[in-house]
Structure 1
Amino acid sequence: MDSSPTPVVSALAHSLAAPQHGPRPLPLFLSILWRETEANPDLRRLAFQGLRKYQEAVRPAPPPVPKPFATAGSAKLLRFGRDNGRAPVVFVPSLINPPQVLDLSEGRSMLRHMAAAGHDAYLVEWGRPTKDDTDLGLDGHVTDRLLPMFAALPRPPILVGYCLGGSLALGAAAVMEVQGVATIAAPWQFDGFPPADREVIASLWKSARPTCEKLGYVPMEVLQSGFWALDPARTIQKYAAFASMAAGSDAEHTFLAVEDWANGGAPLSFAAGRDLFENFYGANQPGRLKWRVGGGQVDPDALACPTLSIRSSTDRIVPASAAPTLNGGFTLDLGHVGMIVGGKARTLLWNPLSEWVSTHGG
């Protein structure tokens, strides 16, 4: 019987090692690279060149981060705008990976675009869970993190949630007064994920759960290995393409910023990971209206405020069929990250979202 560690166990072990500058977990990435390029030596060569280039590249300085407007536990609320007498607009990022994808660089920042358009824009930064946060589930991230920070706002906000942050934004809207809710690539109808993808995720969690429970948290490497498993070919091809990007170009800087974001991030508390894998992906609690926050049911149809669901027909992480059905919405043909920071993001997402926010009091 093969006694070698599974990829998930290897990822967990690597998460406890010294930090690295590169894809995380690197051993799993190299295993995928070798497997995906077995019949294509040219692709393998380019992918290794791209990996080396990524590891050794000099990064531009990131944009300055605003001072916290409010805090709750490890979470912070960062203010990018200024009081305009209208509803604050709060962007809620995913718990998976850092919030910097919404403020990637001076020229690719949805938050700075919204502030420049006159919105009083804020960004939630979740921070790192502590040993006392082991039992903080997804509902607790709403009641113990978001709600206390939102209470410091000058008036009820408009919430804009990206990815899992959209799910949490709907949870917050169910238990507090808000002016509106917009979700971007938010997973809600988990039966809308391809069955094969849900099987991959279930297998991943089955392997990782015992170790995560002992640790009290779910390392980012476990989540990243799941993303890679959904589309391993693309994982390798993008590094091969990076090998030929012009040094100092906008494309190179964007690749570095996006990959550093994708390979970064704090772990999830164990309870949040358990909720995500077992109650959301496994049991589809949100889609079946079984998810409860603050003791109450989260039902998007019951919200009294305007709602908007933005999805993408080419999103491999959160397919359009998994997004919530809200009062309004539209579908893009940009990827999960491309819709936020890609070359067409300003025209196809940032500007329409800004107009919707303005129309509804923000």
Structure 2
Amino acid sequence: MAPDFQNGWLYEAGIGENRALRIEHDELAAIRIERERTGARLGSIVDAQFTQQWVAGRSGIITLESGEQCLLQPLPSGLTEGAALRVEIVREALDEKGGQSKRAKARAAAKGSALTKGPSLLDRMKQDGQPIHDVQAHEPDILGDYGWNEAMEQAETGRVDFDGGSLILSLTPAMTVIDVDGPLAPFELAKRAARQVALALTRFDIGGSIGVDFPTLTAKAERTEVCAIFDSYMTGNCERTAINGFGFMQVVARKTGPSVLEVVQADRVLSATLALLRQAERTGSGAGAMELHVHPAVAAKLHHRQAWLDALAKRTGRSVSVEASGNISITGGHVGGD
């Protein structure tokens, strides 16, 4: 049964991944993903040791009790290497494609701060103050009904199609770059794209430095109107430049962790594995055995996470086996069985 509100959160506690979808005016506005991780959460207050000065007087490397290394910025005055201090995590670590990663960022905690673990996805949703509807696997796929699968495909491919054009979202170490493409006249294409860019930034929790490459618009009045359209749909806090004569606009928003694009694209095999587990759990309970037919890389991921297979068996009441085949694509896994 669908929720009886037009604004609020849908929350699904899945196997290996918790999922949330925010509804505004009965339409998808944002999706969020929380995966199992070892790094410190945003908002955590933790003890650390100052390991190394990086930029003299400005930043350095600290080591948390867990062994995780973080960037400390700014440096408290008088801090010496080896000193103990208490810090607050202000940006979670970022995993990038190709196995690269950026350390989490921290700052000195306020005097007297107590140790605490940062809020979970569900905690942050509760702080938002909007209604929350828990979605269960035995219920109809409400997330799917509101466009979860389409939004996840956009995040995985980096492509957002709209009437008359498309956005291509590319992740780089320096910024998220959004290219606008389509057959319409430049001004019309730019106007339609401005709305889609603003919606995409909110939908996928994209922060940090963002570059948007609109079609070239020679008239300043046209560029101003496109910026106004972006502003009218951009609900998050950000700063932006004007669109220059080459069609480029830069947006800067606070970045507190990986965007949904960064989460799903950092490990495509993991994303395919978790999507299959969601599909399998929603296949339903039954007396017969369940078979997961998957690419060998997905099979390897599952065999390294036996707890996920055990959870699937417990939730569905069915025994679970994994069958690997090189003829199946990474994203082409499917559920079979009696």
Same fold (TM over 0.5): no
Q: Give the structure-1-normalised TM-score.
A: 0.24
Q: Counting helix residues as a fraction of each chain, which structure ranks higher?
A: 1
Q: Give the structure-2-normalised TM-score.
A: 0.26
Q: Does 1 or 2 have the higher relative contact order (CA < 8 Å, sep 6+)?
A: 1
Please identify the structure whose Cα radius of gyration is greater: 2
Q: Counting strand residues as a fraction of each chain, which structure ranks higher?
A: 2
